[in-house]
Structure 1
Amino acid sequence: MEWTRGPTIGRGSSAAVSIATTASGDLFAVKSTDLSSSTLLQREERLVSQLCSPYVVKCFGSEITWEENKHVYNLFLEYVAGGALSDQIGKQGGSLDEGVIRFYAREMLLGLRYLHLMGLVHCDIKGQNILIGSDGLKIADFGCAKWGESGGSAFSGTPAYMAPEVARGEEQSFPADIWALGCTIIEMATGSNPWPEMKDPASALYRIAFSGDVPKFPSWFSDNAKDLLAKCLTREPRERWTADELLQHPFFSSAEANCVEFNRKSPTSVMDQGFWDTLEVLTCSSRNKTEIASPSDSPAGRIRALIGDPSPSNVNSTGWTEEEDWLTVRGNEIEECSEVGEQSEDPNQDLEELIDDEFTAISRFDEEEIQTSILVENSLLECVNGDSESVEDFSVFKLITCEKCVNGNISSSRSTFPTTFYSLLWFLGNIIDCR
């Protein structure tokens, strides 16, 4: 398969995540790392490839490529346009309305119920690993996941979200995911981890394990919301409610439980990339309506939305460089890669005391290409509308662009647009030549 690697959108302890596109322009996410250190990523693929649920991010397989004089292992995953739940919390000022929290908590519980029925423990539920799709939430990042019956005292995940029994190194099973869900509900309400006063991970782990404390509940929560948290954050794992039991809790019986709607479709091409920030959340009450962004109808506005900044005044303030431009990658079959063929019998191998790092967002574009793109789209739209003068102008523009490419001012090898966009240019160019 020929595909194009786009800008890096996240980095973790074991891999980097980039946006990618196929030759036909379809978007997906690719999680990549050196083949020599890809054991955990290969293990994640073996787990996720067995899952099929609207509440879990999809896996499309993997591929080994040769890049920068080394073999790279690439895991292909579903591209979820809304980004991480933790980012959404930040955009809303660090706190979500209880009605929105109710909807999100229910979506996470539906996902956890599916995973637990499959016998899988996620082991790292938190806002950063929950993605916002076009029709709800999706659980992502299974780098720490394990089968529930595997046993063992190895622990993994993020310290602030660990259950007491995990922090003590006793066990990490389905109740640990429920504890982490309770911590994530607090994150949605406060914008911070459930132990904000604990800055040192070692001290936090000790307190979680042995103090007998539980995270502080938000004071403004309703009684039902506080009771739900109490059922999630019971220190004794056998007394914690299951996902099935929590879905029957009175907190979710409200008429507002299913009233959050998403009015954006998942993007299917690079030109839709701006939908990362165009998600609109609607609740039953107009008081709770939250509008994050609204796409522009103008070509220039859509190009600015593509780079994630709807404000014209901010186009030149991004500080982007050419380092993260789109790179075409052609997959090669590598027959003698023993690293891929050797799969551990133990599904939890190499997870001893694995602590997950947070992702950080990176996105860059070249300013000259952005301005060129705006001019190109305006010209294309006018051509399609039948403006003869625009057609003539576009012919001149096409010639100028080609001259710039020849002179090295714009390199086609680092274009920021997918193959489908160039196919459109080629098609219109031939029409213009025929005229």
Structure 2
Amino acid sequence: MDWTRGHTIGHGSSAAVSVAKSRWSDDVFAVKSVELSQSQFLQKEQKILSQLWSPYIVTYKGYDVTKENDKFMFNLMMEYMSDGTLTDEIQKQGGRIKEQLIGYYTKQILQGLEYIHSKGIAHCDIKGRNILLGKTGAKLADFGCAKWIDPAERDGGAEPIGGTPMYMAPEVARGEEQGCPADIWALGCTIIEMAAGGSPWTNVTNPASLLYRIAFSGQSPEIPKLLSLQAKDFLSKCLRRDSRERWTVKELFKHPFLEESNLNTMANQDFVTSSPTSILDQDIWSSVEESETMDCSIQRVSSIGSPLQRVRELGLNSGELNWRWDDEQRWITVRRRND
């Protein structure tokens, strides 16, 4: 495909996402790009996304390698959804989404999770910023942290723990495991984000203390009081600290909070879609290979001791979000590597 790169939607420590359009049609899509020599994780994302098709997953459109400014770039092409992320929509709604709409989005997120879990894939970074919204509702995006659950599908053995600390399940914060139950915990945190308009954890001073709190305090995020009893009960099933007791996608579908009668009035509404994610300050976490999703594939800096000890020993250095927007509007024609 011959295409032209447009303005940058956003960028983090390495990868950038741009609007792009075909040179021979009106097709507009999103391109996530990184230098070829640093594209290991983006290539992994491409491999996973290319095997998925669902109305609840952002659509994969292909990949290529181009030469730009004397650098070879690996480009992952995806569906472009222009209205913003779920986090953007929360802000547009004044910092809080009505419960009926929360139920509608939650059901669609669950439908996306049901699909990828059936394929043996855990997303590992569910949060408002990774949910894109369009006319048909919500779609899962950003599979940079995703991993195969079946060890036989993995390349190179066990994969590192990754994701965004604020949405991590206790077993993930302890470095023990990261699978489908962790996606359910993150869904619960995302519902709180929709209902409260902010962090699922309050009074957090830095990522180190947050991870320790998630891993060892015995606490779960506070459920917003303004929610109905059904919504609160649904959240309680998502936020059980023991991953074995957490409800599965199939069980959650049967919960009264997601009854069709409560949600069918949302079907005809127009919905709103994508920014890349943030990065946790590398003074606390260090990647052996930096992930293109910016705040995932985080690994323990120390090679001594267990992950459990590493979380316990984390210092009190504060983390920062390293994210900025690029308002540059020019279009750049790119050429394939063999041109």
Q: TM-score range by the shorter chain?
A: 0.7 to 0.9
The within-5 A match list for 1:13-412 is 13-23=13-23, 24-150=25-151, 152=158, 154-253=160-259, 255-261=261-267, 351=297, 353=299, 360-365=324-329
1:255 Cα deviation after fit: 1.7
Change (3 A) 1:153 1:35: closer
Change (3 A) 1:13 1:74: same
**Residue pair 1:12, 1:357 contacting (<8 A) in 2 also:** no
**Residue pair 2:4, 2:331 contacting (<8 A) in 1 also:** no
- Residue identity in the other structure for 1:79: Y
1:68 Cα deviation after fit: 1.0
Q: Distance in 2 between matches of 1:118 and 1:255?
A: 29
1:191 Cα deviation after fit: 1.4
**Residue pair 1:163, 1:179 contacting (<8 A) in 2 also:** yes
Segments of structure 1 that go 5 or more residues without pairing to the other structure are 266-274, 278-349, 366-413, 417-435
**Residue pair 2:15, 2:33 contacting (<8 A) in 1 also:** yes
Q: Distance in 2 between matches of 1:233 and 1:21?
A: 42
Q: Distance in 2 between matches of 1:180 and 1:111?
A: 14
1:252 Cα deviation after fit: 1.0
1:149 Cα deviation after fit: 2.0
For the residue of structure 2 that corresponds to 1:105, the secondary structure is helix
Q: Distance in 1 between matches of 2:179 and 2:211?
A: 18
- Residue identity in the other structure for 2:15: A
1:352 Cα deviation after fit: 5.1
Question: TM-score, normalization: structure 2?
Answer: 0.79
Change (3 A) 1:263 1:22: farther
1:259 Cα deviation after fit: 1.9
Q: Residue 4 of structure 1 corresponds to which residue in structure 2?
A: 4
Question: TM-score, normalization: structure 1?
Answer: 0.62
Q: Distance in 2 between matches of 1:86 and 1:351?
A: 22
Change (3 A) 1:13 1:121: farther
Q: Deviations over 1:265-295 (max 9, x none)?
A: 9xxxxxxxxx979xxxxxxxxxxxxxxxxxx
1:364 Cα deviation after fit: 3.9
For the residue of structure 2 that corresponds to 1:81, the secondary structure is coil
**Residue pair 1:8, 1:16 contacting (<8 A) in 2 also:** yes
Q: Distance in 2 between matches of 1:186 and 1:415?
A: 39
Q: Distance in 1 between matches of 2:78 and 2:257?
A: 33
Identity %: 52
Change (3 A) 1:120 1:2: same
- Residue identity in the other structure for 1:105: T
Larger mean Cα displacement after TM superposition, 228-237 or 144-153: 144-153
**Residue pair 1:99, 1:257 contacting (<8 A) in 2 also:** yes
